Chain A
């Protein structure tokens, strides 16, 4: 009698399983399916960016109104002009990140190529875009506070030290909460992609055993650079408001 290993027996059982054929896919069902929104991560990237672009567009309108309301105050005019320009730049950058999202053709390539493309997109474009998405928090806080003070008191009185501290802390908290929430939302997916990349590179002859390592180092450099930009921005804001 032939000696058949257990694994080969299971493989034979696999081959003979007719249930994998399942019922034929009906045309009506597929029509409904094709109109459905996918829940894949590419769509989640797209939704996150589109929602934020829409929010920043509303903020830009609010800033334009503020610019007009405070047109006789040179300090605030300069600050609002800078903020409006910064918001427009953020929208432009996020739009570029949106356009760079890998297309559906990626799915037809190898698993390794798709994983690398998603990992690279995430690090090179999406992470930077998320820092800008986080800017929406302080922008909402800033426009909200200035509008409130205008409608409540008819304008802004000069800030004293405590006012400024509260304002700067409010801005910083709004940024940390907003950017932190976005980063945390996608971090788990990134870890899963990293794990798969490590798994695919394991046992191979490829020299780069951990393709994620260099990109992780780049992410750290980006984080430091953006933190520096944020710090300079807050200091500039403080200086303009103090004048």
Chain B
């Protein structure tokens, strides 16, 4: 039996951070159907593991952890069955994706070539999380975060044709 008050409270908190869920879905989903599945799985996982949030870190950090763990650790990755450019989209998705600029699409194309952990690092960097928070979310040292980000940014810069950084 779902406790209504607890559910409403949980929803209100998650609403504030739903952009994290969308971003993880956007970066790790192979196509639109997979993205929607992943976002729903993340939401479900957030609900199920709500008791693991102990308040020692920010709620947003916890949402990142659960979202990334759902995408990286608990999911068997599917091979895309429909090519990305030819898949059917719901009207709501079409409206949302119409707002994505060419720049964002270029960024997505470059990030898609990174490994699962590299994607997580770059997502947290794009969202301007601190090195300490990135380290805490991924379970590596802050020094390691710094070294890796230099390399991944150089790789990404090369992929987006940024001559200066590459």
Contact = CB atoms under 8 A, between A and B. Distances in A.
Interface of A: 3, 5-7, 9-11, 13-15, 17-25, 27, 30-31, 33-34, 36, 38-42, 44, 104-115, 118, 188-189, 192-193, 195-196, 199-200, 203-205
B166 to A, nearest CB: 9
A200 B106 contact: no
B49 A105 contact: yes
Contact of A21 (B19, B100, B101): B19
A106 to B, nearest CB: 7
Classify the interface of chain B: helix, strand, loop or mixed. Answer: helix
Nearest to B73: A114
25 contacts: A5-B162, A6-B160, A9-B103, A10-B106, A13-B101, A14-B126, A20-B22, A22-B19, A22-B22, A24-B18, A25-B18, A34-B2, A39-B75, A104-B48, A105-B51, A109-B139, A111-B72, A111-B117, A111-B120, A112-B138, A112-B139, A199-B115, A199-B117, A200-B117, A205-B143
A17 to B, nearest CB: 6
Contact of B62 (A13, A19, A24, A108): A108
B75 A40 contact: yes
Contacts of B76: 41, 44, 188-189, 192
A104 B70 CA distance: 10
Given A104-B52, A196-B117, A203-B148, A23 B92 contact: yes
A195 B148 contact: no
Interface residues of B, number: 73
Nearest to B2: A34
A114 B160 CA distance: 32
B115 A7 contact: no
Contact of A19 (B69, B99, B107, B125): B99
Interface of B: 2, 7-8, 11, 14-15, 18-19, 22-23, 26, 37, 40-41, 43-45, 47-49, 51-53, 62, 65-66, 68-70, 72-77, 92, 96-97, 99-101, 103-104, 106-107, 115-118, 120, 125-128, 136-141, 143-144, 147-148, 151, 153, 156-157, 160-162, 164-165
B22 A21 contact: yes
Contacts of B100: 17, 19
B19 A199 contact: no
Classify the interface of chain A: helix, strand, loop or mixed. Answer: helix
Nearest to B97: A19
Nearest to B116: A196
Given A19-B96, A200-B140, A203-B144, 13 more contacts: A10-B107, A24-B18, A40-B75, A106-B49, A108-B62, A109-B52, A111-B120, A118-B74, A189-B76, A192-B76, A196-B72, A200-B139, A204-B141
A204 B79 CA distance: 30
A111 B19 contact: no
B148 to A, nearest CB: 5
B161 A17 contact: no
A23 B51 CA distance: 26
A37 to B, nearest CB: 9
B75 A41 contact: yes
